Structure 1
Amino acid sequence: MQGLSRTSLVDVEERFNSVAGSADLGTLADELFAVASLFDREPGLRRSLSDPSRPAEQKAQTIRALLEGKVSQAALETTVAAVEAKWSRSGDLADAVERLGVIAAASEAEAGGRLDDVEDELFRFGRILAANPDLRRALADPAATGKESLLADLLGAKVAPTTLRLVSQVAAHPRGRSLERGLEEFGRLVALQRQRLVAVVTSAVLLSDAQKQRLANWLRATYGRDVHLNVEVDPKVLGGFSIKIGDEIIDTTIAARIEEVRRRLAG
């Protein structure tokens, strides 16, 4: 989000924080996901509720008439705050509501002491998709039904409830994103629950706990923030490791050095 929408998002998050404390966070997440899906399905409604020329009070009355008695008070007040705000484009309204659903789900995981599990599981499921094209096609097919049931059978008791909730949201409601991009986006929002960066570390061999801790300490000192490590093993890197944080890549692999020599020789 940019400009006006970014400012509005901060205001809506403040309203969300004021009402979410006493809510059932899992239920709140599901309700906000449902509201975001409603806005996606009904573009006319979304455009009307995000129209900056309409009075905020009028838009609030409209959404209250639609949702009152159908969702919790926390979900209703959060949605009212969202429609009262001003957005740079109508799609930002649905994006904001979904984002708050992810934050509610992450807050539930944090309260249960499972936030680290959720971060790891979202990352690992992304790698499972990359290694299983048939599963990826089944979940990415817009005409497919029963995706939530498939994921419940596949993941079920193997992951935290929050992980299953978030993966199901991405698969059933891609909202123009690929599965991989949706998982990465949700993973970043989960990490923000503790104001942490996420680093994808690719190594030729599995790192020991001590090595991961030293690497995390070095990254914390470098970036001034805690960094969550998602570690994957790829023998093709030959030796060393690479680290990707956002758009920044730190590459110490032998493969990278060989490629650099090749580029210089070719030049």
Structure 2
Amino acid sequence: MRANSQSSTDAARERFEPVLRAAGESADALGTELFAVVDVLDSSAGLRRALTDPSREGQDKAQVMTDVFGGKVSSDSEDLLAGLARARWSTDRDIADAIEVLGTDAVLASAEAAGTLLDVETQIFSVIRLLAANRELRLALSDKSRSIEDRAGLLENVAGGRVASQTGLLLQRALGNRRAPTLTAGLVRLNEAAAARRQQLVATVTAAVPLNQGQRDRLSDILHRAYGRGVQLNVAVDPNVVGGVRIQIGDEVVDATTLSRLDEARRRLAG
């Protein structure tokens, strides 16, 4: 997002956080409402333009939002949406993107209140790894002749059958979300959002063999010192990675043949 849209999104997330805290486990209902609003906005360029037109008064735009969604969502969601309509947006699509982020925040806040946030993060990562290893599964999930609900059920089954309710909601949302270029990319974003809510970075570590607990602890410590915050390690095994590990945090990739080379990379990153 450009500056205006990012600023408006950040401000809305800050205002919404106390609402999510108060809602507790029921915050996922707010997420469901917001996702439905996103779907309406995605289907109507005219409505998006009416809500983001810089030549219109903020209150006028807020009234448009209320006219469309008033009575169809909770009062908390309605207040949030009216505030978003009053804000400034760089492009008309950004307001829908912001509401998608806020909906995800709501679902993750529900998991946090339920004490299952780490479970949600772990379950999403397991699906990411399954997709990477199974071409037939990727094809089945991209089959538009199957409903989103059917494909979401398939995802839940391959994830272990019984996943947190918030995981199921986010998996279903990822299948229908057009904001990421691929399903895997969308799930990676959700995984990172869950970690961020736990105030953790996500490091995807690919190694030739499973890491023992000592190696995990040492790697976590090195990355914590390099980045100045806690790091959630998601470890995948790939025999093609010979004699070392590959570490990805966001868009940054570090390849290390030994942990000592990783320590060297840490010193370079720290300047």
Q: Same fold (TM over 0.5)?
A: yes
Taking structure 2 as the reference length, the TM-score comes to: 0.87
Alignment map for 1:5-20 (pairs within 5 Å): 5-20=5-20
Taking structure 1 as the reference length, the TM-score comes to: 0.88
The reply on whether 1:241 has 2:242 as its aligned counterpart is no
The reply on whether 1:197 has 2:201 as its aligned counterpart is yes
Q: What is the match of residue 261 of structure 1?
A: none
In structure 1, C-alpha distance between the alignment counterparts of 2:104 and 2:110, rounded to whole Å: 10
RMSD: 1.9
The alpha-carbon distance between structure 1 residues 210 and 115, as it changes in their structure 2 partners (threshold 3 A), is: farther
Q: Residue 253 of structure 2 aligns to which amino acid in structure 1?
A: I
The alpha-carbon distance between structure 1 residues 175 and 242, as it changes in their structure 2 partners (threshold 3 A), is: closer
In structure 1, C-alpha distance between the alignment counterparts of 2:121 and 2:149, rounded to whole Å: 20
Q: Deviations over 1:15-35 (max 9, x none)?
A: 212433333211011111111
Give the Å deviation of 1:149: 3.0
Q: What is the match of residue 61 of structure 2?
A: 59
Q: Is the 8 A contact 1:25 1:107 kept in 2?
A: yes
Q: What is the match of residue 86 of structure 2?
A: 84
Give the Å deviation of 1:176: 5.4
Q: What is the match of residue 100 of structure 1?
A: 102
The reply on whether 1:165 has 2:165 as its aligned counterpart is no
Give the Å deviation of 1:121: 1.5
Q: What is the match of residue 223 of structure 2?
A: 219
Determine helix, strand or coil for the equivalent of 1:235: coil
Q: Is the 8 A contact 1:16 1:78 kept in 2?
A: yes
Single out whichever of 183-192 and 125-134 deviates more from structure 2: 125-134
Q: Residue 145 of structure 2 aligns to which amino acid in structure 1?
A: A
Single out whichever of 154-163 and 67-76 deviates more from structure 2: 154-163
Give the Å deviation of 1:132: 2.5
In structure 2, C-alpha distance between the alignment counterparts of 1:235 and 1:18, rounded to whole Å: 46
In structure 2, C-alpha distance between the alignment counterparts of 1:122 and 1:180, rounded to whole Å: 10
Q: What is the match of residue 185 of structure 2?
A: 181
Q: Residue 217 of structure 1 aligns to which amino acid in structure 2?
A: D
In structure 2, C-alpha distance between the alignment counterparts of 1:99 and 1:247, rounded to whole Å: 19
Percent of paired sites with the same residue = 42
Alignment map for 1:115-154 (pairs within 5 Å): 115-141=117-143, 143-152=144-153, 154=155
Determine helix, strand or coil for the equivalent of 1:225: coil
Q: Residue 19 of structure 1 aligns to which amino acid in structure 2?
A: V
Unaligned 5+ segments in structure 2 are 262-271
Q: Number of residue pairs matched?
A: 254
Q: Is the 8 A contact 1:56 1:85 kept in 2?
A: yes
